[in-house]
């Protein structure tokens, strides 16, 4: 049986995002808005991997699932974790990372045609 390396990498990044998002202590801020940069980059990378790894007929469902994942993490921070809190700006940064990956992926596909 052949293992798809792209799916392995996607799963690893997904695990890291879930682990960081559900870790009880907030991540230290090295500069203002550092957490928003992390949210954007994490979901940009995860989305980019998903766009390259999964079939094109599953992309819309994948985008919706990634948006829901961002919301799920934020809700868990509000409802379960005492040191963390729900943030609309974090959710916005997640969404922007997803949509920026989609825009760049679309441009990349158009250029290759």
Contacts of 55 (CB under 8 A, 6+ apart): none
Rounded to whole angstroms, the Cα distance separating 48 from 109 reads 13
Residue spans of the domains in the chain: they are 5-17+34-112
> What does the angle CA 100 – CA 5 – CA 97 come to, to the nearest 5 degrees?
15
For residue 9, what is the enclosing H or E element? helix 5-21
Neighbours of 86 (CB within 10 A): 14
Please report, in tens digits, the pLDDT of each residue of the chain (113 residues total).
677 888 999 999 999 999 999 998 888 889 999 999 999 999 999 999 999 898 888 889 999 999 999 999 999 999 998 888 899 999 999 999 999 999 999 898 777 76
**What distance separates the 2 farthest-apart alpha carbons in the chain?**
50
């Amino acid at each position: 049986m052949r293992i798809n390396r792209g799916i392995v990498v996607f799963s690893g990044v997904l695990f890291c995002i879930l682990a960081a998002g559900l870790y009880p202590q907030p991540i230290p801020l090295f500069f203002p808005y550092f957490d928003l940069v992390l949210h954007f980059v994490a979901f940009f990378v995860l989305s980019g991997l998903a766009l390259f790894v999964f079939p094109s007929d599953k992309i819309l469902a994948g985008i919706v699932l990634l948006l829901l994942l961002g919301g799920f993490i934020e809700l868990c921070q509000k409802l379960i974790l005492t040191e963390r809190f729900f943030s609309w700006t974090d959710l916005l940064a997640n969404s922007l990372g997803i949509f920026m990956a989609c825009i760049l992926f679309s441009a990349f596909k158009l250029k290759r045609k």
